[in-house]
Structure 1
């Protein structure tokens, strides 16, 4: 049990604290249209295929060992990460150097792992979602949601990094405040 707690603490520190809730990846995506398309596409692949694998894990996982779900999800994302790197290297070797950066950024992003746990929670609350189609659809929707979030951030990226913003507030701090305001606005629409 201590091993599980330590693993969860390490992953939480990595996924939440050091990645700033996924915003570092979204900032890279917002930097240019090329980055946006590549990062959003790879994250959508990870959320969609990862959701299908999460369905199989949730189907097989016994309630007595459900505490290991995080470990299994992490292993699935790791296998998917390696498989995507190999596939790009084999079939798109001329784009490998460029695309591997986006694969590295996207694989263990909290948007991917959070999607798997969110879908699992929705499936446990509503049994009709607990099928392969429901998992894959929800994973694809999460990828599209990331694209929309990146587009919203792209709209303000240049203005929040301009010389009109005070130097101490420019960049990451301004983006976090902007994201907080946008999050509150979107949440109020529920």
Structure 2
């Protein structure tokens, strides 16, 4: 099997995994706060306003499951288009509004490296004023890496390969994703979550 074939199978497996995750959520739809699914036009509106392509896994979520949702009543996923009565679309979320960070400032990654704040697009806010973000500086196989942005002591935590990986952790654990990725010392001492 050649490299191209391996890469194609991996990509197909990732897409199938995404469909499996959505089907998992649909089976338990009554325990989530959900809304009417997004249209192609809703996705395009958000992409045009952000001047950025959205990852396929997130587009599948908002167009096949719910345009914005509150999953397991613990983790919000933002909407596209005009949003809905409870959840604003991601193009109206701003990390700069959540913190005193200047445009073009680099945000350190806990495990090393940094990312320009302009490359972070929030897709999930939490009640602590922090957000899960797409890191949009490089799209690989129609996906972006995701990370948790600590707005109080600006830093990125929990870098994952894509939205589906994030969603899988949430579905498997039914707990805020950041609390699954780090121990209590990091959660309470570094990030300051109660």
TM-score by length of 1: 0.27
Structure with the largest fraction of helix: 1
Which has more radius of gyration? 1
Structure with the largest fraction of strand: 2
The higher relative CO (CA closer than 8 Å, separation ≥ 6) is in 1
